A and B are shown apart, each in its own frame.
Chain A
Amino acid sequence: MEIDVVELSRLQFAMTAMYHFLFVPLTLGLSIIVAIMETVYVMTNRPVWRQMTKFWGTLFGINFVLGVATGITMEFQFGMNWSYYSHYVGDIFGAPLAIEGLMGFFMEATFVGLFFFGWDKLSKRGHMVLTWLVAIGSNFSALWILIANGWMQNPVGTEFNPVSLRMEMTSFFEVVFNEVAQAKFVHTVSAGYVTASVFVLGVSAWYLLNDRHVALARRSIAIAAAFGLASALSVVVLGDESGYAATHSQKMKLAAIEGMWHTQPAPASFTAVGFPDMEARETHYAIHIPWMMGLIGTRSLTREIPGIAELVENAEARIKSGIIAYDALEKIRAAGGEADEAVTAQFEEHSADLGFAFLLKRYVDDPREATEKQIALASNDTVPTVWPLFWAFRLMVALGFGFIGVMAYFFYRANWRGMTFPRPALRLAVWMIPAPWIAAELGWFVAEFGRQPWTVDGVLPTVMSVSHLSVADLAITLAGFVTFYSVLFVIEMSLMLKYIRKGPYLDVPETEQWMAKHEHRLRTHDGNVPGATPAE
């Protein structure tokens, strides 16, 4: 396997996936926020809520289209760049991707057209139902994508077929109700809701700072803060759930995130900050919080969490077992699939470790000829580079708690302080807009980089997963994607900013009438009338 091709393929996948995920979280959250706004409109009949629905809907549309466009790349890139992966696990991994299309994306994409074009063609209620269907469709999409991704982290319900030479599904139920997938799903969609809440909050804060569209902005803040607070709590709780699930499914990732080099007596301490050192296998200048890691990871005071050194030893044992499986598999293949019982039994006993033998392919063509030194090298490869994980994780968590704080504050001001917001808080809200994107990308980085050296944990190493391509192929597509995506990003941002600056559409006469009639209700607790005109 050509290592350059592997590295370039990884780079391209990381780039296109992270780019795709600039648009996805906003779609997930904003679709729901818009649906909530429209529901309030249908219930109260107040034009300002329709104006809000349409305004945030426009921004939703500008964002949505790039999510769709870049999603096309994701759907086909497995086959393009990860051909052996596609062959090896397509039997399981392909299913949730196809169901995503059937159950989620089809619904979302079919109705989103009518969201924009159907205002005059449908009843108010009809249109509202449709907006909800778009939101539900997006979230169903996320569910199935995360079931697929969850399976890469924790491959359940599958076994190797020695004739078709690939993993095949043994239980669809296990794949769907994979605990990692379920926790990841709620964690990820909640992160999307937080992203959209921060976005709505920030844009509305900018309007308030500039004394524009006050009625729209205040109501938007009220919705965003309530929805954002609930979601920010959910992100952290489910993030914790993911960590708990990782203690039994992805021990190495957990140990690497924590910089836990050796098994500690239970309950283990949590390293709050420090400088992990791969060579020395220790974390310099570490500040420990006693007991915390044991409590988070095992929810007990007595169970141990294995450290990196012990996990490497464990990997070495599994590599040796994998070599036996590999040997048996070669014999089965040589016999045309009909080897004697002893060989078959040998294969079945060790087949769970077959993937570990593949780790040796980096050093030797036939794992059976590996030397002790090569086995030691391959065992060491099971440790992902610790420091990026260590820091990415901590930054993500800090941001996560930050969102809870900010959302709680705005929630309080919106509900108990008559929707008045001090200017510094509004400025913070504007500056905070990029933060949830940073947190979300860091989260994916931790999940995917932390799974290295595997594409499917314990089953298929990344170096074996790639297509038979040349460096030239990858150079062309990588350059193409970088250029193309950069241009699209600039265009998207410029349109987004243009439409934010421009402010909501004209529903003006109706809204102004309504506001004149209901002036007394719009007055804030200090007696000021918000002099809002919905559009200049």
Chain B
Amino acid sequence: MILHELIDFEILRVIWWLLLGVLLIGFALTDGFDMGVGALLPFVARTDLERRQAINTVGPVWEGNQVWFILGGGAIFAAWPPLYAVSFSGFYLAIFTVLAALILRPVGFKYRSKRPSQSWRSGWDWALFVGGAVPALIFGVAVGNVLVGVPFHLTPELLSMYDGPFYAKFLGLLNPFSLLAGIVSLAMLLQHGAAWLALKSDGMVETRARRMGPIFGYVAAAGFALAGVWLAVGIDGYAFVGAVVTDGPSNPLLSEVTRGGSWLDAYGVRPWIAIAPVLGFAGILMAARTFDGHSDVAPLLWSKLGIFGVISTVGLTMFPFILPSAVDPNSSLTVWDSSSSHLTLFVMLICTLIFMPLILAYTAWVYKVLWGKVTQDEIADNSETVY
């Protein structure tokens, strides 16, 4: 096969780094509001009918949304195998917790209204709460851990060894910075869920969502700002020592990495990346401000922009690092040494170019078919068939 050499290995790696971001952002934008709605459910909806209304705003779409998560996992496996191997085994029990929470969610959506019993239904409501809140929190904690550095090293055979304490496997290392990142993530997705409910529900559910949304928005923005300051003063960055081979075989141990300086040095080297945090703040704050306006769509659109900005900020700040090691910097995974082979990246790019536009098109079509508010009357009329 010569075809794949049409695109340089180095460029393919950058493209796949971008696609990784696209998938994570796609996941946060779509499944993010499902998780937000789940986490808000016990508070934003009180009566059974209200809860069903809230659940049915995401009822027809959560399955498709969740595939962003599955595809994200698949894409990490296919394009960044060392990242897949190190992160999921290192955060073993945290991932297990996330999986358990995420398994509760589909079952909760589907089974909750299949029995009339009050205790059955309220049990599933709390399952949906856990299924939304726990992953939203842990994903943030994981990102925080990545910025601080993860305690792992690679053996010469490239077996990943986890060096952190046992308890840390549950939630990742619960250092203060990671907890802050978790709160930012949770608050951001709660606002996103509230924005979705403002668009898709009416009556008391909408009113409560509009009241709660801004609170989460301000918390997220404040946390995001605090995290920025913290990165500037309290956390060391990572850097390569000497020149780096950007198109060689993927073996993280071949390059030398040192800890020092600041992650924020990236803004000196590539000032244009400041656009990402600016979009993050603008989106989150504008979403918070538009909740009390008359527009149904505005909070959701701004919230999407905010999430896009926040996730991009993390990626761009760390580039080319993906998963730095706190105990053995040389083991750190970077864009240049932890990808798949040239051929695999090329094949996967072709597949993505074929299928991603199709996915976006039919997803958009489904949302168009489902456009409009989900009302309580509608639920009552179709009580047998809806969630």
- Our verdict on whether A and B bind, yes or no, reads yes
Residue from the list B77, B102, B103, B384 in contact with A78, Cβ < 8 A: B77
Complex Cα spacing A116 to B105, Å: 18
Report whether B82 and A87 are in contact in the complex, using a CB–CB cutoff of 8 Å.
yes
Q: Mark A90-116, 1 if CB is under 8 A from B, else 0.
A: 111111011111110111011111101
Residue from the list A66, A172, A476, A484 in contact with B93, Cβ < 8 A: A476
Residue B297 at the chain A interface, CB threshold 8 Å: no
Complex interface: chain A residues within 8 A of B351 (CB)? 98-99, 102-103
Question: Which stretch from A162-170, A404-412, A414-422 is at the chain B interface?
Answer: A162-170
Within 8 A of B (CB), among A57-88: 61-62, 65-66, 68-73, 75-76, 78-81, 83-84, 86-87
Complex Cα spacing A216 to B196, Å: 40
Complex Cα spacing A84 to B159, Å: 6
Report whether B84 and A79 are in contact in the complex, using a CB–CB cutoff of 8 Å.
yes
Report whether B100 and A163 are in contact in the complex, using a CB–CB cutoff of 8 Å.
no
Complex interface: chain B residues within 8 A of A100 (CB)? 74
Can you list 26 contacts pairing A with B, beta carbon distance less than 8 Å? A62-B114, A69-B102, A69-B103, A75-B74, A84-B85, A86-B88, A94-B78, A94-B340, A98-B71, A102-B71, A102-B351, A102-B352, A102-B356, A106-B355, A106-B359, A116-B59, A163-B248, A165-B157, A166-B81, A169-B341, A467-B92, A469-B89, A476-B96, A488-B103, A495-B111, A498-B115
Count CB-based A-B contacts (< 8 Å).
253
Complex interface: chain A residues within 8 A of B188 (CB)? none
Residue A491 at the chain B interface, CB threshold 8 Å: yes
Q: Which residue of B lies closest to A96 (CB)?
A: B78
Residue B304 at the chain A interface, CB threshold 8 Å: no
Residue A434 at the chain B interface, CB threshold 8 Å: no
A103-B88 contact in complex given A116-B385, A480-B100, C-beta closer than 8 Å: no
Complex interface: chain A residues within 8 A of B244 (CB)? none
Complex Cα spacing A90 to B162, Å: 20
Complex interface: chain A residues within 8 A of B352 (CB)? 102
Q: Which residue of A lies closest to B69 (CB)?
A: A72
CB of B298, distance to nearest CB on chain A (Å): 25
Complex Cα spacing A14 to B194, Å: 40
A118-B60 contact in complex given A90-B85, A91-B340, C-beta closer than 8 Å: yes
Residue B70 at the chain A interface, CB threshold 8 Å: yes
Report whether A98 and B340 are in contact in the complex, using a CB–CB cutoff of 8 Å.
no
Residue A477 at the chain B interface, CB threshold 8 Å: yes
Residue A401 at the chain B interface, CB threshold 8 Å: no
Report whether B75 and A98 are in contact in the complex, using a CB–CB cutoff of 8 Å.
yes
Complex Cα spacing A106 to B61, Å: 11
Complex interface: chain A residues within 8 A of B96 (CB)? 80, 476-477, 480
Complex Cα spacing A418 to B212, Å: 63
Complex Cα spacing A78 to B78, Å: 12
Report whether B59 and A117 are in contact in the complex, using a CB–CB cutoff of 8 Å.
yes
A488-B74 contact in complex given A72-B102, A163-B248, A165-B158, C-beta closer than 8 Å: no
Complex interface: chain A residues within 8 A of B386 (CB)? 117
Complex Cα spacing A61 to B162, Å: 40
Residue A514 at the chain B interface, CB threshold 8 Å: no
Report whether A171 and B160 are in contact in the complex, using a CB–CB cutoff of 8 Å.
no
Report whether A83 and B89 are in contact in the complex, using a CB–CB cutoff of 8 Å.
yes
Residue A177 at the chain B interface, CB threshold 8 Å: no
Within 8 A of A (CB), among B334-380: 340-341, 343-344, 347-348, 351-352, 355-356, 359, 362-363, 366, 369-370
Complex Cα spacing A53 to B69, Å: 30
Complex Cα spacing A448 to B107, Å: 29
Complex Cα spacing A450 to B50, Å: 53
Residue from the list A106, A118, A505 in contact with B67, Cβ < 8 A: A106
Secondary structure class of chain B's binding surface, majority of residues: helix
Secondary structure class of chain A's binding surface, majority of residues: helix
Residue B233 at the chain A interface, CB threshold 8 Å: no
Report whether B88 and A76 are in contact in the complex, using a CB–CB cutoff of 8 Å.
yes
Residue from the list B63, B82, B156, B363 in contact with A333, Cβ < 8 A: B156
Report whether A468 and B160 are in contact in the complex, using a CB–CB cutoff of 8 Å.
yes
Report whether A105 and B249 are in contact in the complex, using a CB–CB cutoff of 8 Å.
no
Q: Which residue of B lies closest to A103 (CB)?
A: B355
Known: A114-B366, A168-B341. 12 other contacts (CB 8 A): A76-B73, A80-B92, A102-B352, A109-B63, A113-B59, A116-B385, A161-B341, A467-B89, A469-B89, A476-B96, A491-B111, A495-B115
Complex interface: chain B residues within 8 A of A472 (CB)? 166
CB of A380, distance to nearest CB on chain B (Å): 25
Residue A340 at the chain B interface, CB threshold 8 Å: no
Report whether A90 and B370 are in contact in the complex, using a CB–CB cutoff of 8 Å.
no
CB of A486, distance to nearest CB on chain B (Å): 13
Complex Cα spacing A32 to B266, Å: 53
Residue A473 at the chain B interface, CB threshold 8 Å: yes
CB of B20, distance to nearest CB on chain A (Å): 11
A110-B64 contact in complex given A84-B85, A95-B348, C-beta closer than 8 Å: yes
Q: Mark B92-116, 1 if CB is under 8 A from A, else 0.
A: 1101100110110111011100110
Report whether B166 and A118 are in contact in the complex, using a CB–CB cutoff of 8 Å.
no
Q: Which residue of A lies closest to B163 (CB)?
A: A468
Report whether A72 and B99 are in contact in the complex, using a CB–CB cutoff of 8 Å.
yes
Complex interface: chain B residues within 8 A of A111 (CB)? 64, 362, 366
Report whether B85 and A79 are in contact in the complex, using a CB–CB cutoff of 8 Å.
yes
Residue B262 at the chain A interface, CB threshold 8 Å: no
Residue B250 at the chain A interface, CB threshold 8 Å: yes
Residue B66 at the chain A interface, CB threshold 8 Å: yes
Residue A11 at the chain B interface, CB threshold 8 Å: no
CB of A103, distance to nearest CB on chain B (Å): 6
Report whether A98 and B158 are in contact in the complex, using a CB–CB cutoff of 8 Å.
no
